[in-house]
Amino acid sequence: MKGASREESFWRTRSEARTPKTRMTRAYLGLGSNQGDRVALLNAALERLEASGRVRVTKRSSLYETAPVGLTEQPRFVNLAAEVETDLDPLDLLELVLAAERDLGRVRTKRWGPRTVDIDILMYDDVQVDTPVLAIPHPEMTRRRFVLEPLLEVAPDAALPDGRRLASFLPEVRDQDVQKVSSA
């Protein structure tokens, strides 16, 4: 739309065009690392997000060791999911997440390649976003056990904006290599 703001052009929600900045919104993040001290990097990523003063981690899952997806000739990942509260809108949250990844040494060289840390916005309240830089809900999460298991640990009743429960997708991915390695 000519003359439309970024939000007017790209936001779709069931109830409102944009989450007001004054309201804390619940979002879910998926984090993974397969380089260096994987657990320390995941902890540092959550600490950086909280240090911004704009994100508060309210729950975090256990750690899961997982096989890489896409580019399989690389080290195994450690993954977790986190429930957060934020006053940032999804695009601003994406900017904060990308900054945390860069601060922790993430360099994007090849798709699905090794990474010090990867932080995905899985869900943001009941908001749906479809832009060239961000898609919420995360378009691959229902096909990835390493996302579903930790996410369902922190949000057992989580559902997509269309009402489908995430737990209903888990039987389809049970054959994927995911092992719980520590409790939350």
- Taking the C-alpha atoms of residue 145 and residue 157, their distance in angstroms, rounded to an integer, is 16
Domain boundaries, the chain: 21-177
Catalytic residues: 106, 115, 118, 120
Model confidence, pTM: 0.85
- DSSP letters spanning 147-160: HHHHHHHH-TT-B-
pLDDT at 41: 95
Level-2 CATH architecture, domain 21-177: 2-Layer Sandwich (3.30)
Helix (H, G, I), strand (E, B) or coil at 41: helix
Give the model confidence (pLDDT) of 54-63 as tens digits.
999 999 999 9
Give the model confidence (pLDDT) of 18-41 as tens digits.
444 568 999 999 999 998 999 999
Token reading at 184: 């939350």
pLDDT at 23: 83
| CA angle, residues 163, 24, 3, in degrees to nearest 5 | 80
Signed CA dihedral, 50, 89, 26, 112: sign only: negative
